[in-house]
Structure 1
């Protein structure tokens, strides 16, 4: 990802999360953090070349997935798995021993993706997303 991709990532974020989405300032801060990695998924044959993005950070020996999102028109095509596998590979290359993330208990599509890639629920996070609960999930690398 480069800095010019950030506004498109924010657009995708807003399509998915609406008023609860992260703003451009958050993305710039994350992009400029030396312990963070920002990824995009591109389809150069599309009018919308950036179809998804992932944000992850490394602290000590744990890689944390901060966000993984796809343009809604790309859901159900296996692209989330492609991006997640890239993020897992990057975590291994940076010597992380585990990965962590948080996900809404109602986000069935994301839960299926994470379970299929070996993540397990480590704890319930009551009211983590305002009125809805979340799960903390872990993948041992």
Structure 2
């Protein structure tokens, strides 16, 4: 993801998460940490060709800190749900976690988002707890999930879902 992707990403973000969409400033802040030798973030976009310009149909982000990475966001346009795009974005994030030499990857998922939970479970994430009232408005709980990265992954072996 680059700065020029923020506006189309925001459009998709607001469509998918109208009540708790990230702001332009949040994306700018994340991207500020995604470049250079001290980078701690990796953000991806997925686009499909459209006449002269690509339509952004998905995006994902990861933050790394020490040996732990956190999936910050994954989103796919509704018309592409069930196509495997979410899995491809997650694969990209897990490769980034390997590049950051992280031993585990964490994420939060709405307890009522069964589709996402199934995706994460297919990749080896396991539920480890809850965060009560994490998603606002609505006071919806988050399921916390963790993936332990195999030791040899940090030495160059790719993670596959």
- TM class by smaller structure: over 0.9
How far apart are residue 97 of structure 1 and its match? Answer: 0.5
| TM-score of the two chains, using structure 2 as the length reference | 0.83
- Does structure 2 conserve the Cα–Cα contact (< 8 Å) formed by 1:61 and 1:97? yes
Q: Are 1:9 and 2:13 matched, yes or no? A: no
Q: Are 1:28 and 2:28 matched, yes or no? A: yes
Q: Are 1:106 and 2:112 matched, yes or no? A: yes
Gaps of 5+ in 2: 34-38, 150-161
In 2, the alpha carbon distance for the partners of 1:128 and 1:19 equals 13
| TM-score of the two chains, using structure 1 as the length reference | 0.94
Q: Are 1:136 and 2:144 matched, yes or no? A: yes
| 1:51 aligned partner | 57
- The CA deviation string for residues 64-120 of structure 1, in whole angstroms up to 9 with x for no partner, is 100010111111111000110111111112211110011100011111110111001
In 2, the alpha carbon distance for the partners of 1:64 and 1:88 equals 10
Task: State the superposition RMSD in angstroms.
Answer: 1.4
Gaps of 5+ in 1: none
Extract structure 1 runs of 4+ deviating beyond 6 A: none
How many positions carry a matched residue from both structures? 141
In 1, the alpha carbon distance for the partners of 2:92 and 2:43 equals 11
**Computing the radius of gyration over CA atoms, which structure comes out larger, 1 or 2?**
2
